[in-house]
């Protein structure tokens, strides 16, 4: 199965709790010549995570972005928000194995990272794994096709 397209940018966003991680992930993406669109926050002050999760999810949903990266304190808020969008499969990841399985079995298209519970090194490794892992399809395809409400 296909990995994410390299012809589209990555959509990235965070609230204040994920701001520092977002900036470091952007540096990681740039160092690998991966384009991105930063949907904010652009300041390290208290903000509301849905204001950033919705634009990231919309960009992925409209095929304007290859996939999304969302970061907040627990990653629950951004994951819940992103998953309100049809055809978004936002996965809360806290271990590399979860990031790989989110792609392999769930065809996740948004990775949600809990900045208060993982190191930046773990976050970068999970983003790398998420980008490089393909959806397995097969028995998982039928399950994934049942996720969206129609």
Superfamily of domain 10-145: Sugar-phosphate isomerase, RpiB/LacA/LacB (3.40.1400.10)
Query: Is pLDDT of 22 > 70?
Result: yes
The reported pTM is 0.95
Q: Report which of 114, 113, 105 is spatially closest to residue 147, judged by C-alpha positions.
A: 105
Which residue out of 72, 85, 93, 112 is catalytically annotated? 72
Asked if 112 is an active-site residue, the reply is: no
| Three-state DSSP string of 15-76 | CHHHHHHHHHHHHHHHHCCCCEEECCCCCCCCCCCHHHHHHHHHHHHCCCCCCEEEEECCCH
pLDDT tier, 2 (very low <50, low <70, confident <90, very high otherwise)? low
Question: What pLDDT, on a 0 to 100 scale, did the predictor assign at position 1?
Answer: 46
Alpha helices in 92-137 (DSSP H): 96-106, 120-132
Asked if 72 is an active-site residue, the reply is: yes
Average pLDDT over residues 70-93: 97
Percent share of the chain, pLDDT over 70:
96
Residue 16 tokens, joined: 């204040």
């Amino acid at each position: 199965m296909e990995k994410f397209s390299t012809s589209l940018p990555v959509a990235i966003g965070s609230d204040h709790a994920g701001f520092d991680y977002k900036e470091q992930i952007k540096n990681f993406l740039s160092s690998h010549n991966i384009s991105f669109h930063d949907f904010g926050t652009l300041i390290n002050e208290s903000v509301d995570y849905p204001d950033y999760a919705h634009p990231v999810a919309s960009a992925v949903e409209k095929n304007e972005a290859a996939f999304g990266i969302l970061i907040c304190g627990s990653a629950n808020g951004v994951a819940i928000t992103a998953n309100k969008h049809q055809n978004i499969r936002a996965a809360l990841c806290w271990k590399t194995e979860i990031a790989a399985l989110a792609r392999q079995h769930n065809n996740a298209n948004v990775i949600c990272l809990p900045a208060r519970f993982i190191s930046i090194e773990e976050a970068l490794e999970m983003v790398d794994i998420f980008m490089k892992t393909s959806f397995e399809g097969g028995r998982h395809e039928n399950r994934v096709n049942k996720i969206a409400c129609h």
